[in-house]
Copies of this chain bind each other. A is one copy, B any other.
Amino acid sequence: LIHDDLPAMDDDDFRRGKPSCHKAFDEATAILVGDGLQALAIELLLDKLPLTMSAQKTVVITKELVSANGFMGMISGQSLDLSELKNPNLSLDMLSFIHNLKTGKLIVACFNMAILASSDVGHIESEALKKFAYEIGLVFQMQDDYLDHYAPQSVLGKGASSDLLNEKVTFASLFSKDTLAEKINALYRDAIENLKPFGEQANDLIALTETLRLRSNGISE
């Protein structure tokens, strides 16, 4: 996110209501802190991995996190974001594909790591969790685009949307306001549906989903 806000990328002056890192400090600091946090995330994971695991599991779990951040994940997503989102004929499939690379893969990786670490998640449960993670990632971006287009600036805690200023294709430019709100609500319902088989065990994930859905009060039922 710190690199995403840089002038060479999205050029965003605010993040969550505060000056973005390169504004609060400078560009060099923002580049270095982004680099350092990437390493720190992996260090934290390595510190938390139970050493009772097999070496193979240790490697596979760490690769989940590292790959989601790498050329096969976030990096390609951000690169396509910069090169393709200004194409006014971009398809819905391509837009979803780019956002899945950019943020979806990392969200799915969080679930994959937990599934790999656990010894008692069956195939059906694991597929349901991954589908939940994919859908949460996608709907999060759809709602982000909705809020960027329709929520007042005071609610967003940042300046005018850089996507709007840069004339990027977003879910809000592909659909009308009402259609997008419907799709968002439907996707949230679908996501929650995946959690049904887990009963009360999924309460935390349901609560998280509700927190996401209600953020910024931007989406009406």
Using a CB–CB cutoff of 8 Å, the interface residues on chain A facing chain B are: 3, 6, 8-9, 26-29, 31-36, 38-40, 42-43, 46, 49, 51-59, 62-63, 66-67, 69-71, 74-75, 78-79, 82
Shortest Cβ distance from A52 into B: residue? B55
B28 A82 Cβ-Cβ under 8 A: yes
Find chain B residues with CB under 8 A from A55 CB: 49, 51-55, 57-58
How many subunits of this chain does the assembly comprise?
2
CA distance A63 to B49 in the complex (A): 12
- Look across to chain B and name the residue whose beta carbon is closest to the beta carbon of A42: B66
Cβ of A69: which chain B residues have Cβ within 8 Å of it?
A: 35, 39
Contact of A66 among B43, B52, B57 (CB under 8 A): B43
Rounded to whole Å, the gap between the CB of A102 and the closest CB of chain B is 11
Is B66 a contact of A36 with CB atoms below 8 Å? no
Contact A71 B34, CB 8 Å, known A49-B59, A58-B55, A66-B46: no
Q: Which residues of B contact A51 (CB under 8 A)?
A: 54-56, 59
Q: Which residue of B lies closest to A56 (CB)?
A: B51
* Distance A86 CA – B194 CA, assembled complex (angstroms): 58
Q: Which residues of B contact A70 (CB under 8 A)?
A: 36, 39-40, 43
